[in-house]
Structure 1
């Protein structure tokens, strides 16, 4: 980030102060690629790759390209690995990324390659991630399987903005950076000492951050570990993408970008409400409720109302009842059999609706 300030002196001797900031906006993400049946992938010829399914970070689609016998004959003793910009962007994308190998014993990931920040047009990576002989004798390969983690940070845009001038100082202080630094710590897993197993995926995190953010995790993690050891925690009844969003909130105090599809938001937000209740995070629950209120319409109100009743989300429930108190809205909901859904899943909510309509 860069800042600039200017001052002008008028004819009357007064001093005018102004300041601006140039801010690089970034977004980070993580993708894990598990190689099952490693020995069988060695049948792939040198120079040929196996691509991961696409994943999105920073508004772009990416793939990890795995060359089990190297990028070329010069690297045939190595595993080559590249991050590919799916589809390509003519002007390229500024991004930095790290390839790490995960331990089967839940230890912090070991970085093997880091791109410190390049404009990626097609792909960028390393021809010599690790010698196959080294991998085969390491703790990373267990049961003919190993896992690669790719951490990606994309510079999405560079903004300029006016900032307040601090009286008596030459320039205004820069915007807060704590959330960005903590997001980077989560993305790299550096100094992580907790390994969460969720829905077949491993998430590395930092006990001190988790204990500060959640009273439930404070009770669960206090007294554990110590001496540099990693605490292993298995999380049941939660999808990996929901736990990933929960962790990101703990580190950045922000919800994930939901994009333009309401269906995507409606699918994740209720799960985050349940996670907030599970871990005693009241602010997260209220933020998710606010987002869900924005999604209330004739198509979604029945499901959201039933959810609000089940999870005791009183503000969200009131918002749904207010929506249904409009006769036109109510008629649209009846057409979709929404009230029938509510009467079966949460009949007490229907009683509240009738009481509200009767009082008006």
Structure 2
């Protein structure tokens, strides 16, 4: 944040000045591992276990772990609070996040809680339902880990800014826009894809950089074309894919983004095809992006079909989301009414076995 002033002298000259207000911050992380989770259940509701103190931003902090909830209203949950040391002044500005860490030591998106405030104590009464934690893969050997990220505003400074030269304004990245324009115009394209009766022009160098499967395929075709004395454009026929799905795949390769999907039915129809295409062409980020969007479509009407698809295409995160949805008895009753589970038992019985095991573990 900056302020500026100017004055005009008697001779008509312009005097310019500028200043800046700068918030100086410090960030830190603290890992709290809960070993012997089942034994912490002996701690009564409303009582906490405090972590050793740790320092961030010149202040002392502790994590307060309530294994049976902050109060009687939250007995099914683990509650977490971040406590500021008693010797700290009032009015400490902070941002803070609690995250459950997964098997690879990365935060689990479903179990991450953030906030910001002028600090005394802050936390969440419903960080995670104990039954969900106990059914998940994140509780291993009766142990799990919580990460607390803290950013503290240490001070706010003001300083004079040199206005001798106007600062350069750097525009946002626009590589995706330029590559998208190259795809749209087909300029200098050197590969033609025939898909479902339509032709799509593209650029070998882009596709080979984005997909290991296409790299191998196009490299081999380039050598064959050169040996045969063919032209500079390679023709490739794509089977078992609709034109609109291949067009969306190409768009992602050039722009790293998916097309807008206005209607839920449109997304439900295209996203599974894009997951299959991502597996086919070795594009992991695209697969995970589509999986994440498919999670948003899980409801009592769709869960059986999505669960069967997740099992068939090895979408472990999507499968876990469906199983978690069905672990709620009310959701399960609604799903049974749609006869989706009957179809699931015939088309993908192994997934149904996983669901029964998950319900039995409750």
TM-score by length of 1: 0.54
Q: 1:7 & 1:229 partners in 2: Cα distance?
A: 58
Task: Please report how far the alpha carbon of residue 17 of structure 1 lies from its aligned counterpart in structure 2 after TM superposition.
Answer: 8.5
Q: 1:190 & 1:228 partners in 2: Cα distance?
A: 16
Task: Please report how far the alpha carbon of residue 222 of structure 1 lies from its aligned counterpart in structure 2 after TM superposition.
Answer: 1.4
Q: Is the Cα contact below 8 Å between 1:201 and 1:240 reproduced in 2?
A: yes
Cα shift readout 1:99-150 (whole Å, capped 9, x = no counterpart): xxxxxxxxxxxxxxxxxxxxxxxxxxxxxxxxxxxxxxxxxxxxxxxxxxxx
How many residues align structurally? Answer: 207
State the secondary structure of the residue aligned to 2:200: strand
Task: Please report how far the alpha carbon of residue 338 of structure 1 lies from its aligned counterpart in structure 2 after TM superposition.
Answer: 1.4
State the secondary structure of the residue aligned to 1:176: coil
Task: Please report how far the alpha carbon of residue 341 of structure 1 lies from its aligned counterpart in structure 2 after TM superposition.
Answer: 1.2
Matched, 1:329 2:331: yes
Task: Please report how far the alpha carbon of residue 171 of structure 1 lies from its aligned counterpart in structure 2 after TM superposition.
Answer: 3.4
State the secondary structure of the residue aligned to 2:183: helix
Matched, 1:192 2:189: yes
Q: Is the Cα contact below 8 Å between 2:264 and 2:297 reproduced in 1?
A: yes
Q: 2:309 & 2:353 partners in 1: Cα distance?
A: 15
State the secondary structure of the residue aligned to 1:197: strand
Structure-2 change in CA distance of 1:307 and 1:169 (3 Å):
farther
Matched, 1:16 2:13: no
Q: 1:343 & 1:220 partners in 2: Cα distance?
A: 38
Cα shift readout 1:81-109 (whole Å, capped 9, x = no counterpart): xxxxxxxxxxxxxxxxxxxxxxxxxxxxx
Q: 1:352 & 1:169 partners in 2: Cα distance?
A: 63
Q: 2:168 & 2:359 partners in 1: Cα distance?
A: 57
Pairing partner for 2:270 from 268, 271, 277:
268
Q: Is the Cα contact below 8 Å between 1:8 and 1:17 reproduced in 2?
A: no
Q: Is the Cα contact below 8 Å between 1:308 and 1:316 reproduced in 2?
A: yes
State the secondary structure of the residue aligned to 1:255: coil
State the secondary structure of the residue aligned to 1:286: helix
Structure-2 change in CA distance of 1:356 and 1:246 (3 Å):
same
Q: Is the Cα contact below 8 Å between 2:344 and 2:352 reproduced in 1?
A: yes
> Which ranges in structure 2 are unaligned for 5 or more consecutive residues?
8-16, 23-160
Matched, 1:203 2:200: yes
After superposing on structure 2, the runs of 4+ consecutive aligned residues of structure 1 that deviate more than 4 Å are 225-228
Q: Pairwise mapping of residues 64-143 of structure 1 onto structure 2 (< 5 A)?
A: none
Q: Is the Cα contact below 8 Å between 1:186 and 1:204 reproduced in 2?
A: yes
Match of 2:169 in 1: 172
Matched, 1:235 2:238: yes
Q: 2:21 & 2:193 partners in 1: Cα distance?
A: 50
TM-score by length of 2: 0.54
Pairing partner for 1:345 from 344, 347, 355:
347
Matched, 1:246 2:249: yes
Pairing partner for 1:318 from 317, 320, 324:
320
Q: Is the Cα contact below 8 Å between 1:9 and 1:16 reproduced in 2?
A: no
Q: 1:303 & 1:176 partners in 2: Cα distance?
A: 39
Match of 2:303 in 1: 301
Match of 1:219 in 2: 216
> Which ranges in structure 1 are unaligned for 5 or more consecutive residues?
19-164
Task: Please report how far the alpha carbon of residue 348 of structure 1 lies from its aligned counterpart in structure 2 after TM superposition.
Answer: 0.5
Match of 2:135 in 1: none
Q: 1:318 & 1:170 partners in 2: Cα distance?
A: 50
Task: Please report how far the alpha carbon of residue 324 of structure 1 lies from its aligned counterpart in structure 2 after TM superposition.
Answer: 0.2
Task: Please report how far the alpha carbon of residue 244 of structure 1 lies from its aligned counterpart in structure 2 after TM superposition.
Answer: 0.2
Q: 1:170 & 1:281 partners in 2: Cα distance?
A: 40
Q: Is the Cα contact below 8 Å between 1:308 and 1:314 reproduced in 2?
A: yes
Q: 2:188 & 2:2 partners in 1: Cα distance?
A: 42
State the secondary structure of the residue aligned to 2:314: coil
Cα shift readout 1:50-103 (whole Å, capped 9, x = no counterpart): xxxxxxxxxxxxxxxxxxxxxxxxxxxxxxxxxxxxxxxxxxxxxxxxxxxxxx
